[in-house]
């Protein structure tokens, strides 16, 4: 290996997400019957797949549309027609005052976040800056994108205990400080991994705090409204000219397209588009083309509302029922599932912690995500962070039942 730069060392060194993805990959190769509840892969929903195939066929059957899809580098912000249509959708649905100039097309949420985070934090002119998470656990894919160390800072959430073995995280506004070295505030909503959906009132409050310090507020709505809108309460959304909203087509069932959107103030969109052009030359055309096609025929929002969301709601009910039955009298709690497609299981005083549970479940044929990977940015250890796992329910009912039996048996054996 040649000598590596700081960039090289940073992105090739030990990383939680790469180690975990490697481990998940090798576990799947070793046991093809493994029940995969660890990834963020969306479910296969036949009606959605059929709709996507029909639109793609129509696009490739039309020589001009096919050429636009395959033969064109789009301009830095992306296809203006698609951006205008997205702005129109957001204006219509939410009344946000947006035009195409407020929208950039991205190569998906992951790379967009990596660009944005490094634009706003790290070595800055006056001082080093950090990205502040108002609460964790947060999406583990964020954890290693920063070019510098100590890139993220997080505030512990408050935990509300709810009836029926549920609990819910809340932002601890009394403990949330936005110091002078904060470059941006960031949340995922719905939150990966907990399935929390922050209320619009909470978003407004955080945005107000951020704005008062002249700091942008990143809202990553990879699972949220307007699409795929995997939210089980009212699918509300929030934007202001201080917000950088990130959307993705992945969780519609299209992670292979690597497409997404960024919605922000014009100068933020332009800055992002410049960086994205240097790194990627242009964003891919497939995601925007399909999105555009679904928007033109007005099939996108009904797809989310009538097909995708009910599908996950049904699987969620099965997963919760089965887990409850199998976990019985163990000291467990589930985060109230408000959105996305994960159950966040908290096993109080779990002997050996979440890594041991992850290993034992892997040996027994079920893959989950050990929760400690999602608590980055805290300044002190927290025992709660060792007691949770993330379980995807984007699976068939029979797999959910089989997995719940294994999770119940394995968890019980750790307490024995």
Give the separation between CA 194 and CA 390, rounded to whole angstroms: 7
Asked if 260 interacts with ligand PLP (CB under 6 A), we say yes
State the nearest-atom distance from the C-beta of 328 to ligand PLP, in Å. Answer: 31
Using the contact rule CB under 6 A, the part of the chain among 102-110, 169-177, 317-325, 406-414 near ligand PLP is 102-110
Using the contact rule CB under 6 A, the part of the chain among 22-30, 107-115, 310-318, 399-407 near ligand PLP is 107-115
Q: Which is nearer to ligand PLP, 113 or 358 (CB)?
A: 113
Q: Which of 38, 78, 108, 195 binds ligand PLP (CB under 6 A)?
A: 108
- Pick from 21, 38, 4: which is nearest to 345 by CA? 38
Using the contact rule CB under 6 A, the part of the chain among 66-74, 103-111, 308-316, 359-367 near ligand PLP is 103-111
Asked if 283 interacts with ligand PLP (CB under 6 A), we say no
Residues that bind ligand PLP (rule: CB under 6 A) add up to a total of: 14
Count of alpha carbons within 13 angstroms of residue 59, beta-carbon side: 23
Asked if 137 interacts with ligand PLP (CB under 6 A), we say no
Q: Which is nearer to ligand PLP, 222 or 411 (CB)?
A: 222
Give the separation between CA 371 and CA 384, rounded to whole angstroms: 9
Quickly count: other Cβ atoms within 10 Å of residue 406's Cβ.
16
> CA separation (Å) from 344 to 165, 268, 275, 336, 367?
12, 34, 35, 8, 14
Is 128 in contact with 181 (CB distance < 8 Å)? yes
Considering only residues 287 through 326, tell me which ones interact with ligand PLP, judged by CB under 6 A: none
For residue 217, give the H/E element and its range.
strand 217-220
Q: Which is nearer to ligand PLP, 76 or 109 (CB)?
A: 109
Backbone angles phi, psi at 185, to 5 degrees: -100, 145
Asked if 192 interacts with ligand PLP (CB under 6 A), we say yes
Region class of 315: left (phi > 0), else alpha (psi between -120 and 50), else beta: alpha
Asked if 391 interacts with ligand PLP (CB under 6 A), we say no
Site mask for ligand PLP (CB under 6 A), range 25-44, x = bound: ---------------x----
Region class of 118: left (phi > 0), else alpha (psi between -120 and 50), else beta: alpha
Q: Which is nearer to ligand PLP, 110 or 132 (CB)?
A: 110
Backbone angles phi, psi at 391, to 5 degrees: -120, 120
State the nearest-atom distance from the C-beta of 189 to ligand PLP, in Å. Answer: 9
Give the interface with ligand PLP as residue ranges (CB under 6 A).
Answer: 40, 108-110, 139, 141, 188, 192, 220, 222, 248, 250, 255, 260
């Amino acid at each position: 290996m040649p000598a590596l730069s700081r960039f090289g060392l940073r992105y090739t060194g030990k990383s939680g997400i790469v180690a975990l993805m490697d481990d998940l990959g090798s576990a799947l190769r070793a046991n093809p019957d493994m029940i995969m509840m660890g990834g963020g892969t969306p479910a296969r929903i036949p009606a959605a797949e059929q709709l996507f195939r029909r639109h793609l066929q129509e696009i490739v059957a039309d020589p001009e549309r096919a050429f636009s899809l395959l033969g064109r580098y789009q301009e830095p912000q992306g296809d203006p027609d698609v951006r205008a249509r997205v702005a129109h959708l957001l204006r219509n649905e939410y009344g946000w005052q947006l035009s195409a100039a407020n929208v950039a097309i991205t190569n998906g949420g992951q790379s967009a976040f990596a660009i944005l985070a490094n634009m706003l934090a790290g070595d800055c002119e006056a001082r080093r800056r950090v990205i502040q998470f108002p609460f964790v656990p947060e999406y583990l894919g964020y954890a290693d994108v920063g070019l510098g160390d100590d890139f993220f800072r997080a505030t512990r959430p408050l935990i509300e205990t709810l009836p029926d073995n549920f609990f819910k995280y809340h932002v601890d506004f009394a403990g949330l400080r936005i110091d002078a070295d904060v470059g941006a505030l960031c949340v995922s909503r719905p939150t990966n991994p907990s399935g929390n959906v922050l209320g619009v009132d909470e978003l407004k409050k955080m945005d107000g705090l951020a704005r008062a310090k002249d700091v942008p507020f990143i809202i990553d709505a990879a699972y949220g409204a307007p699409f795929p809108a995997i939210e089980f309460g009212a699918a509300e959304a929030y934007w202001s000219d201080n917000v950088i909203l990130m959307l993705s087509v992945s969780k519609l069932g299209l992670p292979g397209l690597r497409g997404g959107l960024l919605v922000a103030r014009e100068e933020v969109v332009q800055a992002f588009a410049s960086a994205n052009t240097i790194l990627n030359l242009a964003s891919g055309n497939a995601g925007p083309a399909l999105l555009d096609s679904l928007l033109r025929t007005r099939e996108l929002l009904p797809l989310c509302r009538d097909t995708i969301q009910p599908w996950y709601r049904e699987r969620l009910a099965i997963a919760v029922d089965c887990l409850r039955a199998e976990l019985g009298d163990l000291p467990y709690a589930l985060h109230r599932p408000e959105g996305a497609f994960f159950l966040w299981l908290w096993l109080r005083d779990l002997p050996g912690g979440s890594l041991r549970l992850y290993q034992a479940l892997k040996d027994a044929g079920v893959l989950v995500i050990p929760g400690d990977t999602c608590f980055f940015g805290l300044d002190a250890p927290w025992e709660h962070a060792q007691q949770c796992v993330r379980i995807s329910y984007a699976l068939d009912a029979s797999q959910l039942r089989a997995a719940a039996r294994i999770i119940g048996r394995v968890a019980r054996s750790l307490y024995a």
